[in-house]
Chains A and B, each alone.
Chain A
Amino acid sequence: MLMFLLRRLGLMLLTALCLTFIVFLLTNLPPNLEKLAKSEASARMDDAQVASWLERNGYEQPVLIRYGEWLGVVPGWTRTDDDGKLRGRCVASGDTAETAPRYCGILQGDWGFSTVFKDEVSTIVAKRLGLTAWLMGAVMLLMVPAALLIGVLAGMKEGSRLDRSLSTVSIASTATPEYVSGVIFIAIFASSAVGLKWFSGTATSAMDHITFKNFTLPVVTIALYGIGYIARMTRASMTEVMTAQYIRTARLKGVSFPQIVMRHALRNALIAPFTVIMLQFPWLLNGVVIVETLFNYKGFGFTLVEAAGNNDIELLLACSVVAVFVVLVTQLISDIGYVFLNPRIRIS
């Protein structure tokens, strides 16, 4: 078990390194750097000025070295300007060559500075993640019980009328991506022209205090797309368990149907949905980005869109680290959880 964990962790680390390097590479392509130089210094620079600006700010080094600097395993660049002032990646104004730290990367806890929001990346990401955590939490509270209930009810008696109607409902919900259901919900429940005006069409006010009125639509929109998928997986797992030998034995012994479902089937049927729910997190991230843009809720997804749209390299890198971390950790949890929940699997 320990070896399995260690191997998984090693693989995870390797994946994270590869992915962040790819993001680093893509955000630091020459056209992107040129755009950065023009937006930071002056929009009317010619090519030679752009090149010299990039050189002065340490962007001319090989990509691998700069990736190392960003990670914090390679010393940050320093140079002395013509007027004798020390400049460098890790040099704050007022530092001298002695006081400035040698390394400043994410390993040292230095995430850099956002060019769009003009603030420390770590503060922005922490604040925005907090906002998104509320959204995700509410989505999970709605999505998981609803999906499990639908799946179990549908899977109890395969082919029954209830199964058919609930399965159709879950197929319909998987066919409705967030930007479709969000638009339809706003048109029905929030539009001032024709709608019912029950809820608010934006969630901007939910950033300060969450109310039923401003938070319902975003949460339902994200949850709806996930419910169908989890419910179908639960149904599949439930129907499989219900045809197992031990269920038949229980039926033949005269155990009542509800007893069978609750006592015997449910526990085994919920193992597979657990992994599915865990693996659903990366997809939720997708939904979060769409819904936060649609409802103007300035959380993590909104930050990611802003950072990517404005080529804010360090913020985008931080966002991708968080995203990749979420994906890999949920994968790990789902693997470990599967082993723990399912006594039939043994890792040698």
Chain B
Amino acid sequence: MDQLTWTGALGPYLNPVLMAAIAVAVVAFALQVLRTFLRLVFRLSGVQMVPEAGPPAPGHSAPLDTADYLRLAMNLAFKVALAVVLIYLAAGIVLQGPAKGIIGHISTLYLPVWIALIITFALSMKFKRRLGLYGKLFDSSIGMIGFGIVMFWVFTAIFADLLVTADPLTTLSGMKNKPPGTPLPDGTYWYLLGGDNLARDVYSRMVLGAREVLKIAPAATLFAFMVGITLGLPSGYFGGKLDTVLAFISNLVLAFPVILLFYLLVTPEMVETGIPMYMAAVLFIFPVLFMIVLFNSRFHTQPPKRNLYVAITVVVGLWLYSGLAFNADPLGLVSMQPNILIVFVSVVFVNSPTVYRIVRGLALDIQTRDYVAAAQTRGEGPWYIMLWEILPNARGPLIVDFCLRIGYTTILLGTLGFFGLGVSPESPDWGSTINAGRRLLSIAPHPAVVPALALMSLVLGLNLLADGLREESLKD
């Protein structure tokens, strides 16, 4: 079998078009920025420019000036480039055999992801008026792009088993550091994105890396939020000694350089001492407490209902708690490897003080509102007010921060992998793959660049999503 090219049979025709379009877009964008900048400088230094045209008279359209031409050129070029990329993706599925190219092959493999994405978007667009904040997201193009990127990686993680072409740990002799599109020695398939320095498939490791990252990052962020909320609400609401002590502790953790903390906490020696288990025991109890207090404060006037909810929470919570924190699940279903646990715990530990600060600030702000005073007059308990009056009204900023923080957690996980801390060397997660690939960057850049781009796009998607959410939640 032959070496695959990136774009396959369509490449020779469409590549020049793509290149030209990108070049035009970049030049137009640069000129536009330069023009704005120069105008500013000229006006600041007092040089008289041609006055800007006023609004056009009714019935006449304003004559186009340079800025409009630049804008038009940029938009057009951008659309052409986008169209070419879409053609590559779509044609890759339709074409057969070697005509597909690397992009075509990956696009074909990603068919389940494309379908899932299309269904998600179609359903969301259809019912967007009934979906609250999530539906409003589809009014903002930035938010939609971000959501699309994030869902792309989520579906990649879900369908990872269908998407991989090789076992992530199998090494094949002769494939070491081979460039993207190299056929296997037995001619059955290709290493679509090349081989790494141990002759493993970079593409399959990237796909499974998405699963590794998305297994830990959102869950760790959720735990950090539970801890931050459970401590931040009373701290802001009650104030006093409790607030002083908690604020001091959170400042202490925040003043700790993250890298140093990771190097001290995430070591095999530390696992030996059992400290991660104690930390997990402390940190993981917060979600259980949170849920119990949440139900108790709401339903304590209806004892049967309260007892039912609290009992379910206690049973399920303690079952998960024993499994996750102590690896002692009586049913043997839930468990966490010690080296993953320490990574998880340290990421939660680093993130929760920041969440605590945000929640505390929000609680301080919201508790002066009239509806809180009304609840106090009604004789509601403090926990009811905190969890059912203050927290729901603080949800906007918290949801936005949640998205941003998943991205930040992903970056932290990558940092841990980059320094080879915690995760096993064979693990396909993006941080350790970058770490393994960076030593040979000057000879074979692809083993490091592929996971680097994957990590960057996921974090970018989350940031754009957060930006879109912020914009839309500010509108009401």
Among the listed B269, B438, B463, which residue makes an inter-chain contact with A29, where contact means beta carbons less than 8 Å apart? B269
Contact call A308/B438, Cβ cutoff below 8 A: no
Interface flags for A15-47 (1: CB within 8 Å of B; 0: not) read: 100110011001101111001000000000000
Q: With A and B bound together, what is the CA distance between A15 and B264 in angstroms? A: 18
The answer for the CA separation of A186 and B273 in the assembled complex, in Å, is 40
Question: When the two chains form the complex, which single residue of B142, B441, B455 contacts A180, counting CB atoms closer than 8 Å?
Answer: B455
Instruction: Tell me whether A286 and B258 are in contact (CB under 8 A).
Output: yes
Most B CB within 10 A of own CB, among A19, A183, A195, A289: A183
CB neighbours of A176 from chain B (8 A): 456, 459-460
Provide the residues of chain B in CB contact with A165, threshold 8 Å.
29, 33
B residues near A23, Cβ cutoff 8 Å: 260, 264
Which chain B residue lies CB-closest to A11? B248
**B220-260, CB < 8 A from A:** 248, 251-252, 255-260
- Measured between beta carbons, the chain B residues less than 8 angstroms from A269 are none
Q: Is A177 close to B, CB under 8 A? A: yes
Q: Which of B142, B442, B464 touches A191 (beta carbons < 8 Å)?
A: B442
Q: Is A86 an interface residue (CB 8 A)?
A: no
**Bound CA span A331–B29, Å:** 39
Q: How many A-B residue pairs have CB under 8 A?
A: 152
The majority secondary structure among interface residues of chain B is helix
Which of A73-81, A103-111, A320-328 binds B?
A: A320-328
Q: List which B256-274 residues lie within 8 A (CB) of chain A.
A: 256-260, 263-265, 269-270, 272-273
Tell me if B375 is interfacial: C-beta within 8 Å of chain A. no
- For chain A, the bracket of interface size reads 35 or more
Flag whether A334 is at the interface (Cβ < 8 A). Answer: no
**Residue among A22, A186, A305, A320 making CB contact with B442, cutoff 8 Å:** A186
Bound-state CA distance A187–B43 (Å) is 41
* B452 and A282 contact, CB distance less than 8 A: no
Q: Are B464 and A285 in contact (CB under 8 A)?
A: no
B459 to chain A, nearest CB (A): 4
Give B203 Cβ to nearest chain A Cβ, in Å.
Answer: 17
Docked complex Cα distance between A187 and B442 (Å): 7
User: Per a CB cutoff under 8 Å, which of A26, A171, A256, A290 touches B43?
Assistant: A256
Q: Which residues of A contact B333 (CB under 8 A)?
A: none
Q: Are B452 and A179 in contact (CB under 8 A)?
A: yes
Report the minimum CB–CB distance from B358 to chain A (whole Å): 15
> Inside 8 A of A327's CB, which chain B residues have their CB?
255-257
Q: Which residues of A contact B362 (CB under 8 A)?
A: none
Chain B residues with CB under 8 Å of A94's CB are none
CA distance A245 to B419 in the complex (A): 51
CB neighbours of A15 from chain B (8 A): 248, 251-252, 255
Query: Are B445 and A187 interface neighbours, CB within 8 A?
Result: yes
CA distance A332 to B418 in the complex (A): 32
Q: Which residue of B lies closest to A27 (CB)?
A: B264
Whether B415 is near chain A, meaning CB under 8 Å from some CB there, is yes
What's the dominant secondary structure at chain A's contact region? Answer: helix
Would you call A192 an interface residue if the criterion is a C-beta within 8 Å of the partner chain's C-beta atoms? Answer: yes
CA distance A309 to B269 in the complex (A): 12
Q: Is B36 interfacial (CB-CB < 8 Å)?
A: yes
| Contact in complex: A323, B257 (CB < 8 Å) | yes
B454 and chain A: residue at smallest CB distance:
A180
Q: Given A175-B456, A184-B449, A19 and B255 touching (CB < 8 A)?
A: yes
Name the one of A30, A258, A289 contacting B259, with C-beta atoms under 8 angstroms: A289
Q: What chain B residues lie within 8 Å of A271 (beta carbons)? A: none
* B434 at interface, CB cutoff 8 A: yes
Q: Is the CB of B415 within 8 A of A177?
A: yes
B302 to chain A, nearest CB (A): 45
Q: Which of B32, B255, B263, B407 contacts A175 (CB 8 A)?
A: B407
Taking CB atoms, residues of chain B closer than 8 Å to A71 are none
- The reply to whether B252 and A19 contact each other, CB–CB distance below 8 Å, is yes
Question: How distant is A220 from chain B, measured CB to nearest CB, in Å?
Answer: 16
Which residues of chain A have C-beta atoms less than 8 A from B459's C-beta? 175-177
Is A174 in contact with chain B by the CB < 8 A criterion? yes
Contacts of A289 in B (CB 8 A): 259
A213 to chain B: closest CB distance in Å? 15
Given A31-B269, A192-B442, A324-B257, A179–B467 Cβ distance below 8 Å? no
Q: Which residues of B sit under 8 angstroms from A172, Cβ to Cβ? A: 460
Chain B residue nearest in CB terms to A166:
B33
* Minimal beta-carbon separation of B246 from chain A (angstroms): 14
In the complex, A194 has a CB within 8 A of chain B? yes
Whether A29 pairs with B452 at a CB distance below 8 angstroms is: no
CA distance A80 to B168 in the complex (A): 59
Q: A304 an interface residue at 8 Å Cβ cutoff?
A: yes
Taking the closest CB of chain A, its distance from the CB of B194, in whole angstroms, is 12
Interface residue A339 (Cβ < 8 Å from any Cβ of B)? no
Chain A contacts for B259, CB-based, 8 A:
285-286, 289-290, 301, 304
- Residues 408-449 of B, flagged 1 when their CB comes within 8 A of A and 0 if not, give 000100110011000000000001001001100111110011
> For the complex, what is the distance from the CA of A22 to the CA of B265, rounded to whole Å?
11
The verdict on A175 contacting B44 (CB below 8 Å), with A201-B442, A309-B263 known, is no
Q: Is the CB of B257 within 8 A of A286?
A: yes
Q: Are the C-beta atoms of A183 and B260 separated by less than 8 Å? A: no
Let me know if A187 and B449 touch, CB within 8 A: yes
Quick one: closest A residue to B67, CB to CB? A161
Asked if B40 lies at the interface with its beta carbon under 8 angstroms from chain A, I say yes
Report the separation of the CA atoms of residues A29 and B268 in the bound assembly, to the nearest whole angstrom. 12
B311: which A residues are within 8 A, CB to CB? none
How far is it, in angstroms, between the C-alpha of A323 and the C-alpha of B190 when the chains are bound?
A: 48
Verify if A293 is at the interface (C-beta below 8 Å from B).
yes
In-complex Cβ contact of B419 among A167, A168, A293 (8 A): A293
Q: Which of B333-363 contact A (CB under 8 A)?
A: none
Most chain A Cβ neighbours within 10 Å, of B37, B43, B256: B256
Q: Does B453 contact A (CB under 8 A)?
A: yes
What residues of chain B lie closer than 8 Å to A191, measured between beta carbons?
441-443, 445
Residues of B within 8 A of A35 (CB): 269
Chain A residues with CB under 8 Å of B434's CB are 179-180, 183
Q: Identify the interface centre among A11, A177, A193, A319: most chain B CB within 10 Å of its CB.
A: A177
Contact A193 B443 (CB under 8 A): yes
The chain B residue with its CB closest to the CB of A29 is B273
Task: Give the shortest distance, in Å, between B403 (CB) and chain A (any CB).
Answer: 12
**B71 at interface by CB-CB < 8 Å:** yes
C-alpha spacing A180/B40, complex, angstroms: 34
Q: Which residues of A contact B32 (CB under 8 A)?
A: 161
Question: Is A294 an interface position by the 8 A CB rule?
Answer: yes
> Nearest CB to that of A18 among chain B residues?
B252
Do residues B452 and A304 form an inter-chain contact, with CB atoms below 8 A?
no
Most buried by B among A193, A256, A262: A193
Asked whether, in the complex, the Cβ of A290 is within 8 Å of the Cβ of B415, the reply is yes
Whether the Cβ atoms of A183 and B443 lie closer than 8 Å is no
Chain B residues packing against A (C-beta within 8 Å): 29, 32-33, 36-37, 40, 43-44, 71, 142, 248, 251-252, 255-260, 263-265, 269-270, 272-273, 275, 407, 411, 414-415, 418-419, 431, 434, 437-438, 441-445, 448-449, 452-453, 455-456, 459-460, 462-464, 467
Some 13 contacts from A to B, beta carbons below 8 A apart, are A15-B252, A23-B260, A29-B270, A29-B273, A175-B407, A176-B456, A186-B438, A186-B445, A286-B259, A290-B259, A293-B419, A308-B260, A327-B256
Interface pairs A-B: 9 shortest CB-CB: A308-B263, A187-B445, A31-B269, A175-B460, A175-B459, A180-B452, A323-B257, A26-B264, A177-B411
